[in-house]
Amino acid sequence: MRAVVQRVSRGEVSLIDPGGDQRVISGIGQGLVILLGIGPEDGEEQAQYLAKKIANLRIFADAEGKTNLSVQDIGGEALLVSQFTLYADTRKGNRPSFVNAAAPEHAEPLVGRFAELLREHRVPTKLGQFGAYMQVQIENDGPMTIWMERE
């Protein structure tokens, strides 16, 4: 399981319908945008580990400006976006291969479970739409971006 965690001032997910109209389906204020990739061997253990780690990750500033606070501490939110492209293999040629990403029937329930686990850790969590072509607006704060992985 792989996650790109971004500290944000705000984040938003939109879908674009066939007519070209954009519709916002999810959004947050201050908190985290989490791009989550699921591998074929990932399961409950990886989800529990990363959800707990992310919920407690101290990347927000305290009164002295030091990164001592978690998203829980600041009362922030999370926006979780499934991102199979985190498993891209670019070693051969110029077109990425995604054979290392989990199949949708394995990944989709695990993304939902990951959101539940974040909520259990007191992080209000909203989702993108699994399998959809999305426009993701990220107002990265810092910028602060962290790559995390649990195999």
The structural domains of the chain, with segments of one domain joined by +, span 2-143
Per annotation, catalytic residue among 6, 84, 114, 125: 84
- Cβ neighbours of residue 108 closer than 8 Å, sequence gap 6 or more: 82, 130, 131
Confirm if 6 and 144 have CB atoms less than 8 A apart: yes
* 48 annotated active-site: no
- Predicted confidence (pLDDT) at residue 48 exceeds the cutoff of 90: yes
For residue 21, the model assigns a pLDDT of 86
* 83 annotated active-site: yes
Per annotation, catalytic residue among 60, 83, 114, 125: 83
Q: pTM for this one?
A: 0.95
- Predicted confidence (pLDDT) at residue 20 exceeds the cutoff of 90: no
Q: pLDDT per residue over 50-95, tens digit each?
A: 999 999 999 999 999 999 999 999 999 999 999 999 999 999 999 9
Confirm if 24 and 149 have CB atoms less than 8 A apart: no
In degrees rounded to 5, what are phi and psi of residue 20? 95, 0
In degrees rounded to 5, what are phi and psi of residue 90? -115, 15
The CATH superfamily label for domain 2-143 reads: D-tyrosyl-tRNA(Tyr) deacylase (3.50.80.10)
CB atoms within 10 A of CB 108: 15
Per annotation, catalytic residue among 85, 90, 130, 135: 85
* 60 annotated active-site: no
